[in-house]
Amino acid sequence: MSRFWSPLVARLTPYVPGEQPKHQVLAKLNTNENPYGPSPLALAAVRAAAGDDLRLYPDPVAGQLRQAIAATLRLDSSEIFVGNGSDEVLAHAFNAFFGGGGAVLFADVTYSFYPTYCDLYGLSYRRVPLDASFRLDASDYAGPCAGIVVANPNAPTGIAMPLERIEQILRQNPDVVVIVDEAYVDFGGDSAAALVPRYDNLLVVQTFSKSRSLAGLRVGFAVGQAHLVEGLTRVKDSFNSYPLGRLALAGALAAWNDREWFDKTRGLVMADRERTAGRLRDQGFTVLPSSANFLFAAHENVPAETILAGLRSRGILVRHFRHERIRNWLRISVGTTAECDRLAEATASIVGG
């Protein structure tokens, strides 16, 4: 511990991302990256933007990108906020909307960055237990609180909840902001963005990292009524007025407009997800129903840490969490068809042996 740290820094427990290996592995299925590359149009746009104009600052309001997203969602650009990945957008939202007193509510098994944001901004929080099947009960999110965060589909479980349950949470909590984190929604969930005109307390957050294969560019966005976007913008402009560079703006705009590539690649991921889930179930795994680009699985006889080590020895990385409720579960990103086949062959050898 450095003697120069503030008391806040000394208390922080930072979020730990999935391992990014320095040496080649056969299958990297631990960080939910899209196995298929970005849209060719996005790559061309990035190359075209890599010119002399890089000496100039980017558009601080990301006008073209916001207009494109708004047009697709049938909203106004004043209802769209963009930032340096959805993690930054979420961080700004916690800072902007959850300081009113009381606890921020989120599930006990969900994205582990949420408590980190709370610690960073000095916010109280309460983890609300999922039920025995890892599903969220909307009735548990009623009563006084500082705000609510729901990952839908949830991570790391992959389970999606229907929009009527999101609406129930919104109606139960009209005086606080409800954030719906939709990082994985394009792989089978229903977006709450359609509810934005009806609920002034709804903020929907999405990313270009997963379904549009742009994790390396760091682009995320939020959808909410104009007063929420204005609040986010006030925080952003007090922190970094230029969160997206010229290359990120160009690539994201082209990727958003290339609907054909988007639909093709997410369709491949969803097909291999279901095929791989079936093969794992045949091997004795319990696999939760997933609407994301990953599977959450536990074997009935073989501990998760044994499977994790066995896969690693075969050059296959998956994610294991030490949260008590899910110590025997593994989160497995959906790779290419060949990577999914390699995974299933490896697990068959491990649990069969």
How do residues 277-329 score in pLDDT, each as one tens digit? 999 999 999 999 999 999 999 999 999 999 999 999 999 999 999 888 999 99
The model's pLDDT over 216-257, given as tens digits with 9 standing for 90+, comes to: 999 999 999 999 999 999 999 999 999 999 999 999 999 999
Phi, psi of 324 (to 5 degrees): -55, -40
Q: To the nearest whole number, what is the mean pLDDT of the chain?
A: 94
Could you tell me the pLDDT band of residue 333, with boundaries at 50, 70 and 90?
very high
Q: Secondary structure of the chain in the HEC alphabet?
A: CCCCCCHHHHHCCCCCCCCCCCCCCCEECCCCCCCCCCCHHHHHHHHHHCCHHHHCCCCCCCHHHHHHHHHHHCCCHHHEEEECHHHHHHHHHHHHHCCCCCEEEEECCCCCHHHHHHHHHCCEEEEECCCCCCCCCHHHCCCCCCEEEEECCCCCCCCCCCHHHHHHHHHHCCCCCEEEECCCHHHCCCCHHHHHHHCCCEEEEEECCCCCCCCCCCCEEEEECHHHHHHHHHHHHCCCCCCCCHHHHHHHHHHHHCHHHHHHHHHHHHHHHHHHHHHHHHCCEEECCCCCCEEEEEECCCCHHHHHHHHHHCCEECEECCCHHHCCCEEEECCCHHHHHHHHHHHHHHHHC
Residue 177: other Cβ atoms inside 10 A: 25
> Is the confidence at residue 22, as pLDDT, over 70?
no
Output 5 or 101, whichever has higher pLDDT. Answer: 101
Q: Is domain 40-258 annotated with CATH 3.40.640.10?
A: yes
Nearest to 286 by CA among 158, 194, 125, 120: 158
> Is the confidence at residue 11, as pLDDT, over 80?
no
CA dist 219 and 214 (Å) reads 7
Predicted local confidence at residue 122, as pLDDT: 93
> Is the confidence at residue 51, as pLDDT, over 70?
yes
The stretch 26-31 carries a mean pLDDT of: 88
Output 200 or 1, whichever has higher pLDDT. Answer: 200
Question: Can you give the residue ranges of every domain in the chain?
Answer: 7-37+260-352, 40-258
The model's pLDDT over 107-149, given as tens digits with 9 standing for 90+, comes to: 999 999 999 999 999 999 999 999 999 999 999 999 899 999 9
Predicted local confidence at residue 329, as pLDDT: 97
Residue 284: other Cβ atoms inside 10 A: 15
CB-side neighbour CA atoms (13 Å) of 225 = 11
Predicted local confidence at residue 237, as pLDDT: 94
CA dist 92 and 94 (Å) reads 6
The fold of the 7-37+260-352 domain, in CATH, is Aspartate Aminotransferase, domain 1 (3.90.1150)
> Is the confidence at residue 14, as pLDDT, over 90?
no
